[in-house]
Amino acid sequence: MIIPDLMNAMVLEGVGQQLVYKQLPVPQPSENQLLVKVMACGVCRTDLHIIDGELKSAKIPLVPGHEIIGRIIKIGNKVKDLKEGSIVGIPWLGYTCGNCKYCIAGKENLCENAKFTGYTIDGGYAEYIVANAQFCFPLSSKLQAFTKAPLLCAGLIGYRSYRKINDDAKHIGLYGFGAAAHILIQVANYQGKDIYAFTRDGDLLTQQFALKLGAKWSGGSSEKSPVKLDAAIIFAPVGELVVRALENLDKGGVVICGGIHMSEIPSFPYHLLWEERGLQTVANLTRQDARDFLNLAAQIDITTDTKFYPLHQANEAILELRVGKILGAAVLLMS
Ligand SMILES: [Zn+2]
Ligand SMILES: [Zn+2]
The domain spans of the chain are 6-154+287-294+304-333, 165-281
CATH of 6-154+287-294+304-333, one of 3.90.180.10, 3.90.25.10, 3.40.50.720, 3.40.50.1100: 3.90.180.10
What distance in angstroms lies between residue 112's CA and the mean position of ligand 1's atoms?
Answer: 5
Counting ligands in written order, the one closest to the CA of 98 is 1
Superfamily covering domain 165-281: NAD(P)-binding Rossmann-like Domain (3.40.50.720)
What distance in angstroms lies between residue 117's CA and the mean position of ligand 1's atoms?
Answer: 16
Amino acid 175 reads Y
How far, in Å, CA of 205 to CA of 178, rounded?
12
Counting ligands in written order, the one closest to the CA of 43 is 2
Instruction: Give the start-end residues of each E strand in 258-311.
Output: 278-281, 306-310
Question: Which of these, 140, 19, 161, lies nearest to 69 by C-alpha position?
Answer: 140
What distance in angstroms lies between residue 250's CA and the mean position of ligand 2's atoms?
Answer: 29
Neighbouring C-alpha atoms within 13 Å toward the C-beta of 166:
13
Instruction: Give the start-end residues of each E strand in the chain.
Output: 6-11, 20-25, 33-43, 68-75, 87-90, 93-95, 115-116, 128-132, 137-138, 171-175, 194-199, 217-220, 229-234, 249-257, 278-281, 306-310, 329-333
Task: Answer whether 158's CB lies under 8 Å from 294's CB.
Answer: no
What distance in angstroms lies between residue 52's CA and the mean position of ligand 2's atoms?
Answer: 15
pLDDT tens per residue across all 335 residues of the chain: 789 999 999 999 999 999 999 999 999 999 999 999 999 999 999 999 999 999 999 999 999 999 999 999 999 999 999 999 999 999 999 999 999 999 999 999 999 999 999 999 999 999 999 999 999 999 999 999 999 999 999 999 999 999 999 999 999 999 999 999 999 999 999 999 999 999 999 999 999 999 999 999 999 999 999 999 999 999 999 999 999 999 999 999 999 999 999 999 999 999 999 999 999 999 999 999 999 999 999 999 999 999 999 999 999 999 999 998 899 999 999 97
β partners of residue 172: 195, 231
Task: Answer whether 137's CB lies under 8 Å from 81's CB.
Answer: no
